């Protein structure tokens, strides 16, 4: 039987002074690996598509949680405001990691009457990510 992994073990960490620290207040994380293909179909393809795995590749991470006063959370906020790059590591599965520089694509705050303030953030990688 295949092993299954707890969602709580998927965490995002920010490089702060050469040490990766978990971003506080997070409740959910999503990792998306995008692999673009190039259509190279021609008349010899018998009308079936023929793909070339040579298109652009990208990595997106999104996460959300509770607005808080954690230091790492404040650094994410600052990077969103300044449109600066962040060095992040996502831990997932059975001790797998992906590390890369990321830009903050969007940072959303939500506050409802009789509820806590929440946030949602999406990141886009910059450069070649490292999978380990």
Domain CATH code at residue 22: 2.30.110.20
2 within domain boundaries: no
Give the whole-number percent of the chain exceeding pLDDT 90.
94
45 within domain boundaries: no
Chain Cα centroid distance, residue 87: 11
98 within domain boundaries: yes
Domains in the chain: how many in total? 1
Q: What is the pLDDT of residue 108?
A: 97
1 within domain boundaries: no
Q: Write the CA distances from 36 to 13, 15, 72, 104, integer angstroms.
A: 27, 29, 33, 22
56 within domain boundaries: yes
The residue range of the domain holding 78 is 7-36+52-131
86 within domain boundaries: yes
83 within domain boundaries: yes
E-state strands within 7-85: 11-16, 19-22, 26-35, 38-39, 51-52, 57-66
94 within domain boundaries: yes
Question: Which pTM does this prediction carry?
Answer: 0.88
Over residues 82-115, the pLDDT tens digits come to 999 999 999 999 899 999 999 999 999 999 999 9
Identify the CA nearest to 66 among candidates 120, 11, 10, 123.
120
Structure tokens at 87: 């060095």
């Amino acid at each position: 039987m295949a092993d299954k992994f707890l969602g709580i073990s998927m965490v995002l960490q920010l490089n702060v002074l050469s040490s990766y620290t978990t971003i506080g207040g997070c409740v959910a994380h999503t990792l998306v690996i995008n692999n673009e293909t190039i259509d190279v179909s021609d008349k010899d393809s018998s009308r079936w598509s023929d793909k070339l795995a040579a298109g652009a590749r990208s990595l997106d991470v999104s996460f959300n949680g509770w607005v808080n006063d954690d230091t790492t959370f404040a650094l994410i906020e600052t990077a969103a405001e300044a449109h600066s790059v962040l060095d992040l590591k996502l831990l997932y599965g059975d001790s797998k990691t992906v590390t890369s520089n990321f830009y903050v694509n969007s940072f959303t705050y939500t506050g409802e009457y009789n509820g806590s303030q929440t946030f949602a953030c999406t990141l886009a990688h910059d450069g070649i990510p490292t999978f380990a």
